[in-house]
Chain A
Amino acid sequence: MGIFSKSSGAFRDAKGDLILENVTKSFATFTAVDDLSLTVPRGSFFALLGPSGCGKTTTLRMVAGLEQPTAGRIKIGSTDLTGSRPYERPVNTVFQSYALFPHLTVRDNVAFGPKRRGSADPVGEANTTLELVQLSHLADRKPTQLSGGQQQRVAVARALVNHPEVLLLDEPLGALDLKLRREMQVELKRIQMEVGLTFVHVTHDQEEAMTMADTVAVMNLGKIEQMGAPEVLYDLPRTKFVANFLGQSNMLHGTVQGIDGDFTVIGAGDHKVKVRTSRMAPGEGGEAIFGIRPEKTRVHDEAPSATLAGASLGPGTLLDVSFTGVATQYLVDVPGVGRWAVYEQNLDLDRISNKPGDQVWISWNPGHAFGVRS
Chain B
Amino acid sequence: MTALAHIGSTGAGAQTPGGPAPEPTKKGGITAYLLLLPGVLWLLVFFVAPMAQLAAVSLQSQFPGYPGYYYRDVNFGSYVTAMTEYLPQFGRSLLFAGSATLLAFVLAYPLAYAMAFKAGKWRGLMMICVIAPFFTSFILRTIAWRQILADEGPVVGALKWLHVMPSSGRITETGFAVVAGLTYNFLPFMVLPIYASLERADPKIIEAGGDLYANGLTTFRRVTLPMSMPGVLAGTLLTFIPAAGDYVNAELLGSDSTKMVGNVIESQFFKVLGGFPVAAALSFTLMAVILALVFVYVRRYGTEELL
Chain A residues proximal to chain B, CB less than 8 Å:
1, 4, 64-66, 85-87, 91-93, 95, 97, 99-104, 112-113, 116-117, 142, 144, 158-159, 162
Contact = CB atoms under 8 A, between A and B. Distances in A.
B306 interface: yes
A113 B210 CA distance: 10
Contacts of B305: 102-103, 142, 144
B227 A93 contact: no
B299 interface: no
Given A116-B213, A142-B305, A144-B305, A99 B208 contact: yes
B227 A86 contact: no
B204 A113 contact: no
B3 to A, nearest CB: 22
A137 to B, nearest CB: 20
B218 A86 contact: no
Contacts of A92: 211-212
Interface in B46-105: none
Contacts of B209: 101, 112
Interface of B: 202, 204-205, 207-215, 218, 222-223, 226-227, 229, 303, 305-306
A4 B213 CA distance: 11
B211 A102 contact: no
A220 B126 CA distance: 40
A159 to B, nearest CB: 8
A46 B269 CA distance: 77
Given A86-B207, A93-B208, A95-B204, A102 B227 contact: yes
B213 A102 contact: no
B215 A66 contact: no
B127 to A, nearest CB: 25
B212 A158 contact: yes
Given A102-B306, A112-B222, A144-B305, A95 B227 contact: no
A64 B208 CA distance: 10
A97 B305 CA distance: 19
Contact of A113 (B202, B213, B227): B213
Given A87-B211, A158-B212, 8 more contacts: A1-B213, A1-B214, A1-B218, A101-B226, A102-B205, A116-B213, A142-B305, A144-B305
A325 to B, nearest CB: 28
Contacts of B205: 99-102
Given A1-B218, A144-B305, A97 B211 contact: no
A285 B226 CA distance: 65
A87 B214 contact: yes
CB-based closest 9 A-B pairs: A116-B213, A86-B210, A99-B204, A113-B212, A99-B208, A103-B226, A99-B205, A87-B213, A116-B214
Nearest to B227: A103
Contact of B211 (A66, A117, A144): A66
B229 A103 contact: yes
A86 B303 CA distance: 29
A85 B303 CA distance: 32
Nearest to B229: A103
Residue among B202, B208, B215, B218 with the most chain A CB within 10 A? B208
Contacts of B218: 1, 116
A99 B202 contact: yes
Contact of A87 (B202, B210, B223, B306): B210
A103 B202 CA distance: 13
Contacts of B213: 1, 87, 113, 116-117, 162
Given A1-B215, A85-B215, A95 B208 contact: yes
Contacts of B208: 93, 95, 99-101
Contacts of B215: 1, 4, 85, 87
Contacts of A86: 207, 210-211
Residue among B207, B213, B306 with the most chain A CB within 10 A? B213
30 contacts: A1-B213, A1-B214, A1-B218, A64-B211, A66-B211, A85-B210, A85-B215, A87-B212, A87-B214, A91-B211, A92-B211, A92-B212, A95-B207, A97-B204, A99-B204, A99-B205, A99-B207, A100-B205, A101-B208, A101-B209, A102-B205, A103-B227, A103-B229, A112-B209, A112-B222, A116-B218, A117-B213, A144-B305, A158-B212, A162-B213
